[in-house]
Amino acid sequence: MLTHGPRMTDEIPSTAELWYGKSVSFQGPSVWFTIAALLSVSAVPSCQSQPRPYNYADEPNPVGKEYVIGPSDLLHVTVWHNAELTGDVVVRPDGTISLPLLGDLRAAGLTPGQVRADVTTRLKAFVKDDSATVTVSVAAVNSYRFVVSGNVEHPGVFNANHYVRVSEAIALAGGPNRYANPDVSVIIRPSVEPKGAVRRIPVNYTAILDGTHPEHDLLLLPGDNLFVP
């Protein structure tokens, strides 16, 4: 008398059986289709840390250019042979300075050379001596401020007397905290035109550190907000 072994079924195993290693019997194309689909899903790579396309070369580089004056900067104005018109002035929050005889002048957003030209032109109405040469210099930089916000150890407003790159700014803020995803950081930068608009510049902090994308390590400009999600 012949006996038969256990019958092979074509039932599709459950997801738990596939992932937890239970011994199952496979028969029929539907089973292999299920396995292939599960494996393909698990093999999809994460694209979250991939740098987003952006033309970083279009962003301004202030190094090598004449300094742009901002609020709270301390200016030293000298008028040759005229001590009464010589002295230090602080740029007010509204961007103006006050000088004897001349009154209020716009300074924020201008270079020292542009302020000197304005003072020279206005001064001609009061001083007829052509030897009254005007010089304007920045005695103290106080307007270079930027924000580091989000998931860093010490978020806040930072001042510096030199231009700071993204990597330096994050270091000043104590580095990313344990909740951070610094690969998708962003610089929120005010735009000149249209007024009130902002640009969002993607920054991959890890790509800066490992050297794969050094162009992300931009110099921060006054008013920038570096956000680490």
Contact 224, 189 (CB under 8 A): yes
Q: Who wins on pLDDT, 2 or 132? A: 132
Domains and CATH numbers, the chain: 74-140 (3.30.1950.10), 143-228 (3.10.560.10)
Name the band, by pLDDT with cuts 50, 70 and 90, for residue 127.
confident
Kindly report, residue by residue over 18-72, the tens digit of the pLDDT. Answer: 333 444 444 555 544 444 444 444 444 444 455 568 999 999 999 989 999 999 9
- Please state, in angstroms and rounded to a whole number, the distance separating the CA atoms of residues 149 and 225: 7
Average pLDDT (130-150) is 92
Kindly report, residue by residue over 154-213, the tens digit of the pLDDT. Answer: 999 999 999 999 999 999 999 999 999 999 999 999 987 777 789 999 999 999 999 999
Name the band, by pLDDT with cuts 50, 70 and 90, for residue 82.
confident
Residue linked to tokens 């902002």: 198
| Per-residue confidence (pLDDT) for residue 50, from 0 to 100 | 58
Average pLDDT (87-95) is 96
Name the band, by pLDDT with cuts 50, 70 and 90, for residue 17.
very low
SS (H, E, C) the chain: CCCCCCCCCCCCCCHHHHHCCCCCCCCCHHHHHHHHHHHHHHCCCCCCCCCCCCCHHHCCCCCCCCCCCCCCCEEEEEECCCHHHCEEEECCCCCEEEECCCEEEECCCCCHHHHHHHHHHHHCCCCCCCCCCEEEEEEECCCCEEEEEECECCCEEEECCCCCEHHHHHHHCCCECCCCCHHHEEEEEECCCCCCCEEEEEECHHHHHCCCCHHHCCECCCCCEEEEC
- Please state, in angstroms and rounded to a whole number, the distance separating the CA atoms of residues 25 and 29: 13
| Per-residue confidence (pLDDT) for residue 29, from 0 to 100 | 52
